[in-house]
Amino acid sequence: MQAYPHHYSVTASGKSTEHVHIHSPGLVSIESAPPAQFGGPGDLWSPETFLVAAVADCFILTFKAIARASSFEWTALQCDVEGILDRVDKVSLFTEFRLKAELTVPHGTDESKAVRLMEKAEHGCLITNSLKSTLSLQAKVLLE
């Protein structure tokens, strides 16, 4: 890992009649548009879906690092996230992120340790640690 601080650069550009084009050095460019809830087409990633995806992605990547450091064997992890966007004091903001995580582990695995590691990943995710919203995790362990 590189020393802190880390810097991430993204450029977004758009024209009045086109979708937004998002670029970052070394990455594939993508398009975004408002979600259907805000009158957009609903068929492209939006800032809202990017944020919710970042929560899910960070949870899994954090879990991978924690599991590796703990020599914990696992097979698969799925994280479904529901982001709740609401109006608070006349301001639109995400008020909550609900994570449902299903971890598949080999038979004989200590299930309580699996849940503890998922909880540790929830608390260690830098994305959710950077947000003001409430975060809740519903963790489930599946035996193969």
Task: Give kind and range of the element (H or E) at residue 32.
Answer: strand 30-32
Give all domains of the chain, ordered by start, each with its CATH number.
47-143 (3.30.300.20)
Question: Phi, psi at residue 133, to the nearest 5°?
Answer: -70, 160
pLDDT digits (tens, 9 = 90+) for 15-61: 999 999 999 999 999 999 999 999 999 999 999 999 999 999 999 99
Between these two residues, 135 and 118, which has the higher pLDDT value? 118
Q: For residue 1, what pLDDT is reported?
A: 81
Q: Which of 74, 30, 73 is nearest to 49 (CA)?
A: 30
pTM score:
0.92
% of the chain surpassing 70 pLDDT? 100
Per the prediction, the chain carries an average pLDDT of 96
- Distance CA(22)–CA(137), nearest Å, equals 30
Which pLDDT band holds residue 134 (cuts at 50, 70, 90)? confident
- Take residue 48 and report the two structure tokens written for it: 């809202």
Tokens of 59: 């949870």
Contact assessment for residue 49 and residue 118, using Cβ atoms and an 8 Å cutoff: no
* Helix, strand and coil in the chain, % to nearest 5: 30, 35, 35
